[in-house]
C-alpha cells in the first residue's frame, strides 16, 4: 500500500517533520496574532457548495487560460521568497514540479536561484513577481524578466512597510541563502534586504510606488501587469482605470497586515469592481479542491498556493510540488463532478451558499 500523502494537510504534517524548526516557523508565520492567516481558512469553511445532481458529468474540462497562457487546471504557484529553505534545488525544483503539472509558476524577486536559471529549469509558463525597491533596480529586474521569457509582471502592492513576523523575531531568524537575482548585481543587495520576508526588512531607498508611478512601470515593458494584494473594490476600480491586466486578490497569506478579512471574502467586491476589464485571481488559504471551486464560483479565473509549495518541496522536491498540485487537481475534479459541473470556465450560478452577514458587511462612515 502506498503511503503517499493524500491531502495538503498530509504534506504539511510531513514537511513539519522534515524542516528545521526556524524554517518551518518562517514559512507558516502570519503577521501579529496571525488572525488573518486563520481567517483565510475559516472564511473558505463558512461557504458551502450546492451540488446539482443527475447530470452527465462524464467529460470534464479543468484547463483554462490566464492572460492568454494555457494552464491544465486553474491552480498556480504563488511567488514566494527563497525556496532553498525547503529543498536544496529551491526554485529549480518548484519550476519542474509546476511544469510537470502543466501550470504556471510566479517567481519572487527574492528567489534563491536567478530568474534565468529558473526559466531554463522547465518549459512551463512563468510570471515574474516584482518588489519595487528603487527605480534603477526595478528597471533592471523588469528588463531581465522580459528578456528571460516571463509572460507578465506581478507587482506586489501590499508591502508598503516591513512586517517582521513575531515567530521570526523570537527565533532570530535570518534567511540562510543569498538572493539569486543579485549574484551579478550585489550593489542592489542592501536595497533588497528583507524582501525575502526575513525580519531584516529595511525601508526601501526610494518611497514605495503609488498609482502615479504605474505608468512609469508600464512604460518599461510590453508585458501585462498584474497587481498582487489588492483588497478592496475601491482599489480594484482604480487598477482597472489604470489599465491593469490582472488583479491577484491576496492577503499575502496573512503575513503583512493582520486583522483584515480573509481573501475569499474580498473576492466578490473586487470581481464586481473589475467589471470584466481585468482577470481576477486569488491566493491565501487555498488547501482543498473545494476551495478552488468556491473561488472560481465567486468569479476568480484561477487561484494560487503559497505555503503548500514549500510543503511539497520539503516532502520530495520537484516530485513533491507536482504531487501537491495533483492532489488539488484530483479534489477539484471530484468536486466539479459532484456539483454537476463539467467546465471550470463555465460554472453555473448558484453553486455557493453564502451565509448571511458574510464578507464585506458595512464600512464605517
Ligand atoms: C515563506 C513565504 C514567502 C513569501 N514571499 C513572497 C514574496 O517574495 N513575494 C510575494 O509577493 N509574496 C510572497 N509570499 C506570499 C505568497 O505569494 C502568497 O500570497 C501567500 O503565501 C498565499 O497564502 P497561502 O500561503 O495561504 O497559500 C510569501 C509567502 C510565504 C509563505
CB 254 within 8 A of CB 167: no
Catalytic residues: 252
Condensed to tens digits (0 to 9), the pLDDT of residues 144-172 reads 999 999 999 999 999 998 898 999 999 99
Contact criterion met (CB below 8 Å) for 312 and 323 = yes
Measured from the Cβ of residue 357, the count of other Cβ atoms closer than 10 Å reads 7
Identify how many contiguous H helices and E strands the chain contains and give both numbers. Answer: 13, 12
pLDDT in tens, the chain (365 residues): 468 999 999 999 999 999 999 999 999 999 999 999 999 999 999 999 999 999 999 999 999 999 999 999 999 999 999 999 999 999 999 999 999 999 999 999 999 999 999 999 999 999 999 999 999 999 999 999 999 999 999 999 999 988 989 999 999 999 999 999 999 999 999 889 888 888 887 777 778 889 999 999 999 999 999 999 999 999 999 999 999 999 999 999 999 999 999 999 999 999 999 999 999 999 999 999 999 999 999 999 999 999 999 999 999 999 999 999 999 999 999 999 999 999 999 999 999 999 988 876 778 87
Residue carrying the nine cell digits 478552488? 292
For atom 21 of ligand 1, which residue has the closest CA? 306
At residue 246's C-alpha, the angle toward residues 245 and 252, to 5°, is 150
Pairing status of strand 48-49 against strand 352-353 = antiparallel
Query: 156 alpha carbon to ligand 1 midpoint, in Å?
Result: 10
Which atom of ligand 1 lies closest to the CA of 196? 8
Please count the other Cβ atoms lying within 10 Å of the Cβ belonging to residue 208.
14
Residue 156: strand pairing partners: 228
**275 CA → ligand 1 middle, Å:** 27
Q: Residue 356 burial (CB < 10 Å; 0-12/13-18/19+)?
A: exposed
Q: How far is the CA of 79 from the centre of ligand 1 (A)?
A: 6
- DSSP string across 322-355: HHHHHHHHHHHHHHHHHTT--BTTSPPTT-EE--
Q: Atom 3 (ligand 1): residue with closest C-alpha?
A: 80
pLDDT for 118: 98
Domains of the chain: 8-43+64-336 (3.20.20.70)
Q: For ligand 1, what atom is nearest to the CA of residue 27?
A: 1
Pocket mutation for ligand 1, best pick of 25, 42, 80 (most atoms within 8 Å of C-beta)? 80
Amino acid at each position: 500500500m502506498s503511503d503517499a500523502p493524500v491531502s495538503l494537510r498530509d504534506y504539511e504534517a510531513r514537511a513539519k517533520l522534515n524542516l528545521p524548526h526556524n524554517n518551518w516557523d518562517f514559512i507558516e508565520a502570519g503577521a501579529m496574532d496571525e488572525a488573518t492567516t486563520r481567517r483565510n481558512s475559516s472564511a473558505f469553511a463558512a461557504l458551502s457548495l450546492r451540488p446539482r445532481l443527475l447530470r452527465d458529468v462524464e467529460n470534464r474540462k479543468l484547463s483554462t487560460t490566464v492572460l492568454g497562457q494555457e494552464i491544465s487546471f486553474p491552480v498556480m504557484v504563488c511567488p514566494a521568497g527563497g525556496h532553498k529553505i525547503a529543498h536544496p534545488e529551491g526554485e529549480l525544483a518548484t519550476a519542474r514540479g509546476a511544469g510537470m503539472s502543466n501550470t504556471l509558476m510566479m517567481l519572487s524577486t527574492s528567489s534563491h536561484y536567478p530568474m534565468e536559471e529558473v526559466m531554463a529549469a522547465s518549459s512551463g509558463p512563468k510570471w515574474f513577481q516584482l518588489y519595487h525597491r528603487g527605480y534603477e533596480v526595478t528597471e533592471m529586474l523588469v528588463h531581465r524578466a522580459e528578456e528571460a521569457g516571463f509572460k507578465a509582471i506581478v507587482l506586489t502592492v501590499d508591502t508598503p512597510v516591513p512586517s517582521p513576523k513575531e515567530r521570526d523575531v523570537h527565533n532570530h531568524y535570518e534567511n540562510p541563502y543569498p538572493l539569486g537575482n543579485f549574484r551579478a548585481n550585489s550593489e542592489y543587495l542592501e536595497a533588497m534586504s528583507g524582501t525575502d520576508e526575513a525580519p531584516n526588512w529595511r525601508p526601501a531607498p526610494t518611497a514605495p510606488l503609488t498609482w502615479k508611478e504605474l505608468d512609469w512601470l508600464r512604460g518599461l515593458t510590453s508585458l501585462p501587469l498584474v497587481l498582487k494584494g489588492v483588497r478592496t473594490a475601491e482599489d480594484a476600480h482604480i487598477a482597472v482605470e489604470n489599465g491593469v491586466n490582472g488583479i491577484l486578490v491576496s492577503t499575502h497569506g496573512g503575513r503583512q497586515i493582520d486583522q483584515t478579512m480573509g481573501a475569499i471574502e474580498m473576492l466578490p467586491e473586487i470581481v464586481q469592481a473589475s467589471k470584466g476589464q481585468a482577470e481576477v485571481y486569488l491566493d491565501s488559504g487555498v488547501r482543498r479542491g473545494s476551495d478552488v471551486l468556491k473561488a472560481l464560483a465567486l468569479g476568480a479565473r484561477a487561484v494560487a498556493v503559497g505555503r503548500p509549495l514549500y510543503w511539497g518541496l520539503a516532502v520530495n522536491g520537484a516530485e513533491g510540488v507536482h504531487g501537491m498540485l495533483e492532489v488539488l487537481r484530483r479534489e477539484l475534479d471530484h468536486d466539479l463532478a459532484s456539483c454537476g459541473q463539467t467546465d471550470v470556465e463555465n460554472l453555473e450560478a448558484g453553486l455557493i451558499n453564502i451565509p448571511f452577514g458574510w464578507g464585506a458587511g458595512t464600512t464605517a462612515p
